[in-house]
Chain A
C-alpha cells in the first residue's frame, strides 16, 4: 500500500471530441496539501472529477488513497469533496443534513458535527439555502470531517470568498493537516491562497501538466526577466514564456537553467507564484517565443 494520497499517471480524458486532459501525471504524498493551479478551462475540474471517479478516463491510471480508480464505492467514506456550489437540498436545516447523510457513513461522529458547526458559527436550525458561500463551504467541511475523511478535495473553494473567509479556510486546512494521515487537494486560480501554505504544487495549462513538485522546487525552476521594450529578441536556446511587451518594458518567464543565456542587460529575479501562474497561463498567442 503506497503512502500516496493520490496519483494520476498518464491520464487522458476527452470531452466531446477534444482532449480535456493530455498525459496528465501528478501525485501527492500523504500528509500534505497540493495546490492545483491553472486558468479557467485549463482542466482542473476535469482532473478532479477523474480523480474522484466521477468521470471515466480514456487512458492512463489513477490511484486514490491506495486504491485504483474506479474503486470500491466504500472509498468515498474517506473523501470529502468541497465544490464551488452546495449540493444539498436548500430547504434542509443543518440538523436535517446530518439525518440525511448519516446513514451512509460507517463512522459518523454526531458530536463532532455539532461541535464543528458551533465552532464555525453555524446554527443547526439554519437552512442550507440561507448560508453564505463561506458558510456553505464550512458546512461541507464539517460534513467531511464528521465522517472522518482522510482526503479533502477542494475545487475552487475561494472564488467568491472575502479575505477573512479565505483566511479561515487556510486555518481549517492547517488544523486538518495536523494529522499526518490527512491530505488536501486544492484547486484554484488564486495563487495567494497557496503562496505560504502550499506544500506541493501542480501547474496545469491547456489540459497538460506544465510542472509539478514541491512549492520550493517550482519557485526555483523559473525566473522572471524584465528588459527594455526592444530587448529579448533573437534569443537562441531560451524559451520565453508568456511574453508581455509594452512600450516601456518586456517581461517574460524563463526556466532557471536557461536564464544564464540571457545576457547582461536584463533584470532576472525569482518569481512569485502569481507571476508563474500568469505567464504560464497566458493565452496561446502570447505564450511562447523561441528561436
Chain B
C-alpha cells in the first residue's frame, strides 16, 4: 500500500466510529428526495459527500490528530494527498450508491432517467464536489476545521449560487459547456492540492 493509500485508510478508521451518524445523513437525504430521483445524486454529493470528506478534519481538530500525523512515519505530503484521496473515495462511493438508488427510484416511480439526464446529473455532481473540496481543503489545512467550518461551507455554496444566477442555469442550456466541468473540476482539485501544500508550510504549528 502506498503512503497515500494508508492515509486514506487512516481517514476511514478515523471516521468509522461515527458511521451511524453519517449513514443517517445519507438516509435523510434519500428520504427527502425519494420523489425526485433526478436531483438525488447532486444533493447527496452536496450534503453527504461534503460532510464525509470534511469529517477527518473535524475529528482531527478535536482529537489533535495533527500530532499523530507528525509522529507516524508519514510524510506531510502523504497526509495532505490522503485527505484529497479520502474525499475522492467518498465521492465515488456516494455516486455509485446514489446513482443505483436514483435509478431504482426512477424506475419504481416511472420517472424518466435516461442516459443524457444521468450524464448531466453526474457532471453537475462532479462540479459541486470539485468546488467544495477545492475551496474547503486549503482552508482546513491552514486554519483547522473548527475555525473555518462555517465559512468553508458557505463559500462553495455561494460560489455555486453565483454561477447559477450568472448563467441562468437550466439543464438544457447548460448542455453545451457541461462537459467542461470534468477537466475544470479536476484542475481545480489539483490546484487546490498545490495551494494546500504551500499553505501547509506556513501553517501555525499544531499545539503539540
On whether A and B touch (CB less than 8 Å), the answer reads yes
B77 to chain A: closest residue by CB:
A73
- List residues of chain B with CB within 8 A of the CB of A85: 64, 67
Instruction: Tell me which residues from 2 to 18 in chain B have a Cβ below 8 Å from any Cβ of chain A.
Output: 6, 9-10, 13-14, 16-18
Instruction: Tell me which residues from 52 to 110 in chain A have a Cβ below 8 Å from any Cβ of chain B.
Output: 52, 54-55, 73-77, 79, 81, 83, 85-92, 96, 99-101, 103-105
Q: CB distance B208 to A90 under 8 Å?
A: no
Given contacts A96-B13, A103-B1, contact A49 B68 (CB under 8 A): no
How many Å lie between the Cα of A28 and that of B205 in the bound state? Answer: 27
Q: CB distance B64 to A105 under 8 Å?
A: no
A77, A81, A90, A99: the one contacting B73 at CB < 8 Å is: A77
Main secondary structure on A side of the interface with B:
mixed
Q: CB distance A100 to B10 under 8 Å?
A: yes
How many Å lie between the Cα of A49 and that of B67 in the bound state? Answer: 11
B13, B65, B68: the one contacting A99 at CB < 8 Å is: B13
How many Å lie between the Cα of A99 and that of B64 in the bound state? Answer: 19
Instruction: Tell me which residues from 162 to 202 in chain A have a Cβ below 8 Å from any Cβ of chain B.
Output: none
Q: CB distance A83 to B208 under 8 Å?
A: yes
Asked if B63 CB lies within 8 Å of chain A CBs, one says yes
How many Å lie between the Cα of A21 and that of B9 in the bound state? Answer: 38
Q: CB distance A87 to B65 under 8 Å?
A: yes
Main secondary structure on B side of the interface with A:
helix
How many Å lie between the Cα of A173 and that of B13 in the bound state? Answer: 31
Asked if A45 CB lies within 8 Å of chain B CBs, one says yes
Q: CB distance A92 to B73 under 8 Å?
A: no
Asked if B116 CB lies within 8 Å of chain A CBs, one says no
Instruction: Tell me which residues from 74 to 133 in chain B have a Cβ below 8 Å from any Cβ of chain A.
Output: 74-75
Q: CB distance B17 to A91 under 8 Å?
A: yes
5 pairs, CB–CB < 8 Å, chain A vs chain B: A87-B64, A87-B67, A89-B63, A103-B1, A104-B6
Closest 5 CB pairs of A and B: A91-B17, A87-B67, A76-B73, A100-B13, A87-B68
State the A residues within 8 Å of B (CB): 45, 49, 52, 54-55, 73-77, 79, 81, 83, 85-92, 96, 99-101, 103-105, 155
